[in-house]
Amino acid sequence: MLESLFSTPKICQFKATSSFVTPHTPLSLNRQGTTGMEVGQMQRRLVEFTKSLFMEGFLDGQFLQLQQLQDESNPDFVVEVVSLFFQDSEKLLNDLTLALEQQNVDFKRVDAHVHQLKGSSSSIGAQRVKNACVVFRNFCEEQNLEGCMRCLQQVKQEFYLVKNKFETLFTLEQQLVAAGGSIPTMEITSF
Amino acid sequence: MGMAAAESQFHVLAVDDNIIDRKLIEKLLKTSSYQVTTVDSGSKALEFLGLHEDDQSSSDSPSISTNKHHQELEVNLIITDYCMPGMTGYDLLKKIKESSSLRNIPVVIMSSENVPSRISRCLEEGAEEFFLKPVRPADLNRLKPHMMKAVSKDQKQEKHEEEEEEEIQSQKHQQQQQQHHQQQSSPRPSGNSKRKAMEENLSPDRTRPRYSDIAAVV
């Protein structure tokens, strides 16, 4: 049962729709001085990168839900929530490290922290972090210190990986918008 | 009493110890045009509700001229996480239902864990709905009926109290006449809505999200 948590996701089909790049003016310059073609390339790069995050299991559908909540009244919503996640999680990871270093480890306390992290990662769609937390909680329940310490390493690894991915994602989005392009929205058409 | 409330938005109190979930539920609720207050614990929730507990009990008078202040603070629905340190969502639910001034406020429980016994326990204690986390925009569509019901319940309360009094008097009269021949048990209308809520919540469509359902539209 535990293996299934780390199985690679099935091949999913993606469709990205874009409203900016129009086929009939590929070489006209826009206000920012970049060509339609460059913006198109940037869009494609962003789409491919985003796709890879889903394919590799870093993100799940909940992240799309988050993106859908973003609107003109709150255009930085996703970045705000994800940044909050980074801050909150780093604190939790520090607390976990300390808690597991104690002479007498309080597994209930450890579990409470992992539960928090599991909740947050689930809420933003950070699937691999969430899955690592699920395994971690099992070891907490068993009061297996070695298992817990291995899990903490695993969770940390997944956290820093996804943090890196998010940073790249946001940078690509920023660059695209600065170049005058619009961010295509993702649609998962089959899974 | 609640007449000016028709113009203003419904006010939801959201309770969750997780900062990300608080931000999310706040956004979801605001997107659905509700006024939102978030707190991070059950005790803070009670404190918030208790602040105008006095106001609410004194607002039984039909006059609405002094209501502007506490109408802004009036809570139309409470949505709370189940797993919280100290006071759980279930504990909070119980306290609300035990309070004469608060028990009419509809309560919704959220949880990341799908535990049937937990769900039934909450519904039996008087929760209107049980949402699995992460909460989706579609889930919020289920909130409005409960808030509307509570508003109309308040408005009809005075009228019905009078009518009930009359009915009780006439029933007593009838029973006296019929004496021992009929044994009647009075119907409990509230039981039906609870059963319905239970059925709704245990229905299969609110299980794990299916990816084929997700679509983002430009």
Looking at residue A149, its pLDDT comes to 97
Question: Which pair of tokens denotes residue A118?
Answer: 């599991």
pTM, 2 dp: 0.73
Of the candidates B31, B133, B212, the beta carbon closest to that of A69 is on B31
Query: Can you tell me which residue has the tokens 């608080």?
Result: B22
Q: Do A62 and B134 touch (CB under 8 A)?
A: yes
Looking at residue A46, its pLDDT comes to 96
Query: Can you tell me which residue has the tokens 């909460």?
Result: B135
| Spatial CA neighbour of A170 closest among A93, A61, A86 | A86
Looking at residue B163, its pLDDT comes to 79
Distance from CA of A158 to the nearest CA of B (A): 19
Question: What CA–CA distance (Å, rounded) separates A94 from A108?
Answer: 16
Could you tell me if the ipTM is greater than 0.85? no
Question: What CA–CA distance (Å, rounded) separates A78 from A82?
Answer: 6
What value does the mean pLDDT take over residues A13-18? 58
- Give one DSSP letter per residue of A124-138, joined into a string: HTBHHHHHHHHHHHH
| Residue B197 pLDDT grade (very low, low, confident, very high; cuts 50, 70, 90) | very low
What value does the mean pLDDT take over residues A153-158? 98
Distance from CA of A166 to the nearest CA of B (A): 16
Cross-strand partners of B39: B15
Q: Do A69 and B212 touch (CB under 8 A)?
A: no
- Which candidate in A11, A69, A70 is best for mutational testing of the B interface (most B CBs within 10 A)? A69
| Spatial CA neighbour of B11 closest among B71, B58, B101 | B71
Q: Which amino acid is at B167?
A: E
Residues in chain B, overall count: 218
Q: Strand B129-132: give its sheet, edge to edge.
A: B35-39, B11-15, B77-81, B107-111, B129-132
Segment B113-137, tens digit of pLDDT: 999 999 999 999 999 999 999 999 9
A6 Cβ contact partners less than 8 Å away, ≥ 6 residues apart = A131
What value does the mean pLDDT take over residues B13-21? 97
Segment B137-168, tens digit of pLDDT: 999 999 999 998 887 877 777 677 777 777 87
Looking at residue B126, its pLDDT comes to 96
Provide the H-helix boundaries in chain A. 2-5, 36-55, 61-69, 77-101, 107-124, 127-142, 145-178
Q: Looking at chain B, which residue has its C-alpha nearest residue A89?
A: B20
Question: What CA–CA distance (Å, rounded) separates B155 from B110?
Answer: 29
What value does the mean pLDDT take over residues B183-211? 45
Of the candidates B20, B31, B212, the beta carbon closest to that of A190 is on B212
Question: What CA–CA distance (Å, rounded) separates B122 from A155?
Answer: 32
3-state helix, strand, coil in chain B (%, to 5): 55, 10, 35
Provide the H-helix boundaries in chain B. 19-31, 42-51, 53-58, 68-73, 89-98, 116-124, 137-140, 144-178, 189-201
Segment A32-88, tens digit of pLDDT: 666 777 899 999 999 999 999 999 999 999 999 999 999 988 999 999 999 999 999
| Spatial CA neighbour of B14 closest among B140, B150, B119, B141 | B140
